[in-house]
Copies of this chain bind each other. A is one copy, B any other.
Amino acid sequence: MDRWPARVSIREVGPRDGLQNEQPVPTADKVRLIEALGATGVGRIEAVSFVHPKAIPQMADADEVWGSIKRFPEVRYSALVPNVRGAQRALDARFTEVEVVVSASDTHNRRNINRSTDESLDDIAALVEMLHGAGATAEVIIATSFGCPYEGDVDPGRVAAIVDRVVAHGADRVAFGDTTGMATPTRVRDVVSRVRERHSEVPMLLHFHNTRGTALANILIALELGVTEFDASVGGLGGCPYAPGATGNVATEEVVHMLHDMGIDTGIDLEKMIDAARLAQEIVGRELPSGVLRAGPRTRLVG
């Protein structure tokens, strides 16, 4: 437990991963939210995705959102892209950090984009080359790294083998997605250890969903394993809007609240992040599944 890192980097994914999984909201609200997040001290924000508007109407205004926000010079903004066309849009919009996704589960990958994991990895090789050629970095997000809702357990060896390939393709960073909240401390330990054995140098980011309550436990064990980069979504934005109370992404303010009480620096002003979560809740018009938003931090005493 002395192994906890002194500092952790959080990437705020509410504006993209969060809002993409909520009912569509107005462009102006997205701009307000991204600006509020930029003012919290968070180091990174996943701002938009460049996807086909018919596939994901929630992100149809990506160019407008990105063109409208006041950008904070100390924040690193990124965009997610599904393919060459999306990557070109991201580059045209002058993003310098771009993410692409592949699923560790073949079934999951096929159901999402009708390609095998292997075929997607070939596509990603070309995308990485294209992004690098334009001076942008490429992060590969490996979805279902801790379990697949169709296949069940995913072999950490398979995840590690995917990392081998994307690293060979030149990926600058690798993220591991707990796409449907199937991660537990054991699964995290197994994937992180297996990947670290072979790729000690590649920046590694973990993305947890709190679907089954384990998100902060997963982060705790990851900290003990030396992981220092995590995704989180303000207010827990991104639960499926059709399942009341369902939780998707772990809430940024819950992560920050725990880390700060553990003496781990995030650079984030917790009160400002809670204000941003309140704004997010107002924007989506439903109660968000964040205990720290609802109850306040542990330091907020009863008078």
A residues bordering B, Cβ < 8 Å?
Answer: 1, 147, 149-152, 181-182, 184-187, 189, 210-217, 219-221, 224, 243-247, 250-251, 254, 257-258, 261-263, 287, 289-292, 294-295, 297-299, 301-302
Cβ contacts under 8 Å, A212 to chain B: 254, 257-258, 291-292, 295, 297-298
Q: 7 A-B Cβ contacts within 8 A?
A: A150-B301, A184-B257, A187-B261, A212-B297, A213-B251, A213-B254, A245-B289
Nearest CB of B to A218, in Å: 8
Copies of this protein, total: 2
Q: Residue of B at shortest CB range from A294?
A: B246
Give the interface SS of chain A, mostly helix, strand, loop or mixed: loop
Cβ contacts under 8 Å, A224 to chain B: 1
Nearest CB of B to A295, in Å: 5
Q: Tell me whether B295 and A211 are in contact (CB under 8 A).
A: yes
Q: Residue of B at shortest CB range from A149?
A: B302
Cβ contacts under 8 Å, A289 to chain B: 245
Cβ contacts under 8 Å, A245 to chain B: 245, 287, 289, 294
Cβ contacts under 8 Å, A215 to chain B: 213
7 A-B pairs closest in CB distance: A216-B217, A213-B254, A184-B261, A182-B298, A212-B291, A217-B217, A217-B220
